[in-house]
């Protein structure tokens, strides 16, 4: 079952920020370069597909890691942001644990963002984005042996986030991405199916404008 932590976190952040809204101007808009840093949790969907002709179900576990973004605002309301992170390490099980293993992956994601309150003096700066995700896999392992390979993946991405401005440079940030990640799997050179990860990535941390 998809966890509800993400919408709850974002809704609470926006609501709390709205209470502290200020008329102080922060010059938050066109020409800004920014970075956001924090801890991100990757939560794959609950049904990750079936492998081989025997329809063996695969389950991919959550993982958390340090993540950061780099971005630029072309106008007050439009910007672009690149998500990067240290590798996420996911354990997985096949056929209710009959076979287990792990893999690392990196999911750099580029989104075009819209800031509805950009250019205003609001402390609360929500945003949404759409874009593309590229995921590369490494260190695939199967307990007990076997040569497992997961193909790199391209897919669509969606994003929601909010900054709560502290001063001209710093802000608290909460953000989330939905990533379309489907990877073809092979074992000992034989195709065994497609793993559908399709995670929500939840990140909380700080934003710095420079």
pLDDT of residue 189: 86
Instruction: Give domain limits for the chain.
Output: 5-209
Q: Average model confidence (pLDDT) for the chain?
A: 86
Place of tokens 């593309």: 132
pLDDT of residue 176: 97
Highest mean pLDDT (candidates 17-21, 65-69, 99-103, 140-144): 65-69
> Which stretch of 77-81, 113-117, 145-149 has the lowest confidence by average pLDDT?
145-149
Alpha-carbon gap, residue 62 to 41, rounded angstroms:
7
Confidence band (pLDDT; 50, 70, 90) for 43? Answer: very high
The first and second tokens of residue 205, run together, are 């941390």
Burial track 166-195 (b if 16+ CB lie within 10 A, e otherwise): eeeeebbbbbbbbbbbbbebebeeeebbbb
pLDDT of residue 208: 96
56 close to 94: Cβ distance less than 8 angstroms:
yes
Give the residue-averaged pLDDT of 138-160: 90
Residue 178 has pLDDT above 60, yes or no: yes
CATH no., domain 5-209: 2.40.160.20
| End-to-end Cα spacing for the chain | 40
Confidence band (pLDDT; 50, 70, 90) for 42? Answer: very high
Instruction: Give kind and range of the element (H or E) at residue 23.
Output: none
DSSP 10: H
Closest CA relative to residue 164, chosen from 117, 122, 200: 122
Percent of the chain with pLDDT over 90: 60
> Which stretch of 31-40, 42-51, 80-89 has the lowest confidence by average pLDDT?
42-51
Confidence band (pLDDT; 50, 70, 90) for 78? Answer: very high
């Amino acid at each position: 079952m998809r966890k509800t932590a993400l919408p709850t976190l974002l809704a609470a952040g926006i609501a709390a920020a709205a209470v502290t809204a200020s008329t102080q101007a922060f010059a938050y808009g066109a020409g800004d370069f920014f970075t956001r840093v924090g801890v991100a949790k990757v939560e794959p969907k609950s049904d990750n597909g079936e492998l081989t002709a025997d329809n063996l179900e695969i389950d991919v576990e959550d993982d958390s890691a340090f993540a950061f973004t780099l971005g630029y605002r072309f106008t007050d309301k439009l910007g672009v942001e690149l998500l990067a992170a240290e590798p996420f390490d996911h354990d997985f099980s096949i056929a209710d644990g009959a076979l287990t293993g792990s893999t690392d992956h990196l999911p750099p994601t580029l989104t075009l963002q819209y800031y509805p309150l950009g250019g205003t003096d609001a402390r609360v700066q929500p945003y949404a984005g759409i874009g593309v995700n590229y995921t590369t896999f490494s260190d695939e392992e199967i307990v007990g042996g076997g040569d497992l390979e997961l193909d790199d993946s391209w897919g669509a991405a969606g994003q929601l986030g909010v900054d709560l401005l502290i001063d001209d440079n710093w802000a608290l940030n909460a953000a989330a991405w939905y990533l379309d990640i489907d990877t073809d799997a092979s074992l000992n050179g034989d195709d065994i199916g497609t793993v559908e990860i399709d995670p929500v990535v939840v990140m909380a941390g700080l934003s710095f404008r420079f």
